[in-house]
Amino acid sequence: MVTRLVLVLGDQLTDTLSALDAADKSSDVVVMAEVSEEATYVQHHPKKIAFIFAAMRKFAASLKDEGWDVRYTRLDDPENAGSIPGELLRRADETGATEVIATQPGEWRLIEALEDMPLKLSMKHDTRFVSTQEEFETWAEGRKALRMEYFYRDMRRKTGLLMDGDQPEGGKWNYDAENRKPAPDDIAFSGPMQFTPDDTVNAVLDLVEARFGNSFGTLRPFHFGTDQEQARRALTHFITYALPRFGDYQDAMLNDNRFLYHALISPYLNVGLLDPLEVCKAAEEAYKDGHAPLNAVEGFIRQIIGWREYVRGIYFREGPDYTRRNALNHQRKLPDFYWTGDTDMNCLSKAITQTREEAYAHHIQRLMVTGNFALLAGVDPHEVHEWYLRVYIDAFEWVEAPNVVGMSQFADGGIIASKPYVSSGAYINRMSDYCKPCRYKVQDKTGKDACPFNTLYWHFLDRHADRFAKNQRMAQIYANWKRMDQDRKDTILSEAEAFLDGLG
């Protein structure tokens, strides 16, 4: 009987993986490997590396218990080839295999590396998503604008989630208008479930500390779950204690609470420890049981079967060059404080410090604080993309790149967003308590104490007026700018220039 190699990557830790389904347990060999190339193609946060390696080790053990022949290579194995193709070639020599069965990776970089191997490759579709790539292509074909909302409605119809016959539950598809409340004075949720590291996790932490101790990010304490059972417990904890108020405050930010009512299950979803439909059905059941309101459940489900599926479709539709798009021709270097948090702008300092310590920040911190600043300041979007890919535990290129290149930085020219997501300090002040202790004054529009977001906002709009002044969604903003006194305009622009020059 011919032996084939079955590749299982660190973000494919699912026992129903298409590559495993296509394999023969009696003759085929599963290959899993902790390799330096995957850990260093960008300098990932140590928590991210530790999370993936620990989850891989536990998943490999579960496959062995199920009777698979698993050839697992640890990072410190002296025979480690250092790359996924290298490990496959080494195992091919070891077993005599000439064919590799793989589930399609979530990065063009790795897809191309596998296709360049001198082994026969059988690449299977990743069936862990609601929409296939072919379905997304069919949906996108011929549309003038690829707006997520309409794709999301098709995913609701396909799954039947929150549907009343052929109509949406409650009569509306989207309850986002109810999900924009500023942060309350206190949060009645202790945060995502935390797990005490076991022997497997502690061994990985020691390894990562020794090898990647100088990377951006704090490794310990480490509280993430690293197997399916823990991931499901984390989901249950969120559904029980946080989902009922998740919707109301999903866009809010607080100085002294890093998680509010957020689930922090995206790492588990993105490495395969949780199934997206399993997660959505648990949330839907909470609504049906009267445990959580419709606005919370709909908003949560939309992030998974709407946004998550949509950005994956965009990533594969747009191709390998997507991460190099730069529609606004932004060339500024990423400011040093993105690595230190050392800035007088309290919102940025809070978001970056949290990112360093937790490998996590929620979507509004990413979009409207760190992303908003980078866009207003004209930072090279590829540098912004690589920063997000490096620093967040849930960042894999298929999901990270469209969120950053498209949604956050408008570098794809409007494929995802109909207008750039930019704001002055007023938005941050409305949705957080960040501005209260800040050295800058959010109410000051100009002057030495003015919030830099206020002048940078108008500077961005002015320098990109040719592109955006005719945008229907921005017409009123440009009308306000046009009516502004010329002396005031000059002051705003000169102060913004001075601030940008000071970024070095």
Cα dihedral 89, 95, 101, 103 sign: negative
Report the distance separating Cα 391 and Cα 358, nearest Å: 9
Q: What is the DSSP string of 156-187?
A: HHHH-TTEETTEEGGG-S--GGGS-PPP-S--
Are the beta carbons of 140 and 131 closer than 8 angstroms? no
Q: d(Cα 170, Cα 161) in Å, to the nearest integer?
A: 12
Write down the H helix ranges in 319-438. 337-340, 346-358, 363-365, 372-377, 381-391, 397-401, 425-431
Beta strand residue intervals within 41-133, DSSP E: 69-73, 99-103, 120-124
User: Which residues touch 255 (CB under 8 Å, ≥6 apart)?
Assistant: 346, 350, 432, 433, 434, 436, 437
Does domain 337-502 sit in CATH 2.60.40.10? no
CA distances to 156, 253, 414 from 159, in Å? 5, 32, 28
- Residues pairing with 257 in the sheet: 254
Asked if residue 423 lies in contact with residue 452, where contact means CB atoms within 8 angstroms, the answer is no
Residue 307 neighbours by CB distance under 10 Å: 18
CB distance 503 to 377 below 8 Å: yes
| CA distance linking residue 481 with residue 467, whole number of Å | 15
Domain residue spans in the chain? 5-124, 133-191+242-318, 337-502
Query: Are the C-beta atoms of 189 and 261 separated by less than 8 Å?
Result: yes
Question: What are the backbone angles phi and psi of residue 254, rounded to the nearest 5°?
Answer: -135, 145
Strand locations in 8-148, DSSP E? 29-33, 69-73, 99-103, 120-124
Q: Does domain 133-191+242-318 have CATH number 1.25.40.80?
A: yes
Going residue by residue through the chain (504 aa), what tens digit of pLDDT does each one get?
Answer: 799 999 999 999 999 999 999 999 999 999 999 999 999 999 999 999 999 999 999 999 999 999 999 999 999 999 999 999 999 999 999 999 999 999 999 999 999 999 999 999 999 999 999 999 999 999 999 999 999 999 999 999 999 999 999 999 999 999 999 999 998 888 999 999 999 999 999 999 999 999 999 999 999 999 999 999 999 999 999 999 999 999 999 999 999 999 999 999 999 999 999 999 999 999 999 999 999 999 999 999 999 999 999 999 999 999 999 999 999 999 999 999 999 999 999 999 999 999 999 999 999 999 999 999 999 999 999 999 999 999 999 999 999 999 999 999 999 999 999 999 999 999 999 999 999 999 999 999 999 999 999 999 999 999 999 999 999 999 999 999 999 999 999 999 999 999 999 997
Q: Exposed, middle or buried: residue 502 (CB in 10 Å: 0-12, 13-18, 19+)? A: exposed
SS3 category, 379: strand
Question: Which amino acid, residue 344?
Answer: D
Top CATH class, 5-124: alpha beta
| Residues facing 101 on adjacent strands | 6, 122
Q: How many CB atoms lie within 10 A of CB 240?
A: 12
